[in-house]
Chain A
Amino acid sequence: MITKCSRTQKLDFLRDRQKKQVNIMQLNPLTIKKIKRFKSIKRGYYSFILFTVMIVLSFFAELLVNNRALMVHYQGVYYFPTYGAIIPGSTFGLDYEYETEYRILAGLFQNQGEGNWLLMPPVPYNAYENDLKEDDYPPFKPSLKERHYLGTDSIGRDIAARLIYGFRIAVFFSIALLFLTYIIGISIGCAMGYFGGMFDLFFQRIIEIWSNVPLLYVIIIIASIMVPNIMILLLIMSFFGWTSITWIMRTVTYKEKAREYVIAARSIGATDFHIIFKHIIPNTVAIIITYAPFSISGGIVLLTSLDYLGFGLPPPTPSWGELLEQGWANMSAWWISSSVITAMTVTLVLVTFIGEAIREAFDPKMHTVYE
């Protein structure tokens, strides 16, 4: 009777601690300390802010880069054509039923001088349209007058537009890839480390095979037979890309499993499920997070490489790799490759700085320096 009582007490105590642990997930003094440390690393912190701003802005890319006007004032009525269905030209007194050509309409309004006006986005082109000239062949040089700030590519599409939409696709592609690979990697790696034995051995062999398969090579073989869309590309890449995080997770789980709190939890009868999800995974989050930025930059590079080789997203999807390919084939059109390389450098360097700062904040390596 006495033992039973103490057992329930123990359970109570543990439940209490667990509740605290749930709170810990939100605001644990250690986490606060880590965040503070991260903020104190200025280079990484500002990179993080800048990168977040870039992502948020790219969410609203339609408002910044578009061939639809932001706002049209026509005969006393306001129109906001950016989102939603197309507005046919006849709405604005033009003689066609297809989508209004706002750039031309702007000139018309000015000539008419009837008080109608419209406001175009900063870059008045979308990523797919070809802006051709009658007396010249693309690629066209950057020109402020025509509002092709970074020029056009070799079939007359605005580079700034393609860069920004390409950024959005690449970043969200990498984030999705990160989630897929981490879900697979964490579950398999955790199971390997926790259960060990035959399961571990089996997956060790599988990982050895998987990580020896030349990734780009196999993706190209598969992509050469079917034109992949984003979903298929994501599936192929996560199918071959899960091994590294699995291996990390396995090692970490092994370490965590041997610690006292896991033994304690098991001794009072916690189930495996409970131990893995309530104890081990929350304790490994810090380590996993330090790898995430590098996975993101890896994803961007992988997608760009594939697009460069012509096996990535199907054309005419805006993509950095495709622009790089054009710049490479068209060296004299320096504005193509220089703008895409600049964009790529800025993005990747930002992500790397963030990654370094997170690593330092979460796992500070104090170097004792020789004096």
Chain B
Amino acid sequence: MTAYFIRRLLLIIPTFIGITIMVFIITRLVPGGPIERMIAQARQQHVISGAGGYGSAGDQQDQPLSEEQIEELKKYYGFDKPILVSYFFWLGKVLTGDLGVSTRYYDPVWSMIRDKIPISLYFGIITLILTYGICIPLGIAKAIKHKTFFDNISSIVIFIGYAIPGWVVGILMLMLFASHWDIFPLGGFVSGDFEDFTILQKTGDIIRHTILPSIAYLVGAFTVLTFLMKNTLMDNLASDYVRTAIAKGLPFKKAVFRHAFRNSLIPIATSFGNNISIFLTGSFLIEKVFNIDGMGLLGYESIVERDYPVVMGILVISSLLFMIGNILSDICVAIVDPRVKFE
């Protein structure tokens, strides 16, 4: 089995190269890269500094940077080389842990990403706890009370939650609870005067900012997990070993929790590893709706501003996490269910 996982780990390499090369080529083929922006910036500065701040139309047509300067810039950003060469140049730097420098803020990409990780991680962990903490008990309750009023009503609610994406639920909640009733803040992670708060106020403030986004995150993962729990538990409850246990005099409660429940957790484990990618990268739609300054929003803004080193940096981290998550899921399955053998 170790051999299997080693093989899986090695397969990450070609996939990783495939993903990054594809996005790299796309970012390279598009106009509006850093050099074009720099020319535009230089032109603006030129206009402002020259002629008392009022540049005539003729001034704006001037090329503010000389040919050599442009060449130098191209060299600096690796635009002078063919796409594949500069890709491998980039890849080499990534392998040494250098994700490059943002073309917009001139900060190292890694430190920009690192700054955002705590917030995304915070929401990720809360969502994780909430999802598993609510879905598993709810799934059990629904399985035991199958086809009762409670089961049917909760199924409809869960279905509706399944149909609407989390960020739309987020907008709805903002409209109701933040704008209309003013119970929760409109977004962001902390209030403006956060610095002056006492510790108690600070905690309260963060909690108030956390509730709505967490629900929005929760909506996405909720349905699948609840139904998975319910269906597997029902299958297990109907199986012979539970019947035998009860026939031999075990109370129903014990049969559920000691026997059926433990076996029902196996399918839940199949998606457990994938949590680490949601964990860290978040969803940029939800982060945009709630204006949370996490990795998702950073990725979105860097695309809008064509800050491609940051785009690539986030892609590196999210795709690695995604692939490692897949392997982790398999490992989880192997741990939980000794019958599973990966070859």
Contact = CB atoms under 8 A, between A and B. Distances in A.
A214 B163 contact: no
A225 B30 contact: yes
Given A212-B15, A369-B146, A352 B162 contact: yes
Contacts of B179: 331-332, 334
A324 B304 CA distance: 19
Interface residues of B, number: 52
A205 B160 contact: no
B231 interface: yes
B175 interface: yes
Nearest to A350: B163
A171 interface: no
A65 B179 CA distance: 31
Interface of B: 11, 14-15, 18-19, 22-23, 26-27, 30-32, 146-147, 159-160, 162-165, 167-168, 171-172, 174-175, 178-180, 186, 231, 234-235, 237-238, 242-243, 284-285, 288-289, 299-300, 303-304, 306, 311, 315, 318-319, 322-323
Given A212-B319, A220-B303, A369-B146, 9 more contacts: A208-B18, A212-B322, A216-B285, A221-B30, A308-B167, A334-B179, A338-B172, A348-B164, A367-B234
B328 to A, nearest CB: 15
Range of interface residues on A (Cβ < 8 Å): 35 or more
Given A213-B23, A214-B318, A352 B163 contact: yes
Nearest to A206: B18
Contact of A370 (B22, B242, B303): B242
B164 A337 contact: no
A62 to B, nearest CB: 28
A55 to B, nearest CB: 17
Interface in A338-358: 338, 341, 344-345, 348-349, 351-353, 356
Contacts of A198: none
A369 B160 contact: no
Interface of A: 205-206, 208-209, 212-214, 216-218, 220-222, 224-225, 297, 301, 304-305, 308-309, 324, 327-328, 331-332, 334, 337-338, 341, 344-345, 348-349, 351-353, 356, 365, 367-370
Given A218-B23, A367-B238, A370-B242, A209 B18 contact: yes
A324 B288 CA distance: 13
A308 B285 contact: yes
A54 to B, nearest CB: 15
B165 A301 contact: yes
Contacts of B162: 352
A208 B18 CA distance: 9
Contacts of B303: 217, 220-221, 224
Contacts of A216: 284-285
B19 A213 contact: yes
Contacts of B242: 370
A309 B30 contact: no
B231 to A, nearest CB: 7
Given A212-B319, A370-B242, A349 B31 contact: no
Contact of B163 (A206, A349, A370): A349
B19 A337 contact: no
A332 B164 CA distance: 22
Contact of A344 (B14, B164, B237): B164
Contacts of A344: 164, 168
A367 B231 contact: yes
A88 to B, nearest CB: 41
A213 B238 contact: no
Contacts of A212: 15, 19, 319, 322-323
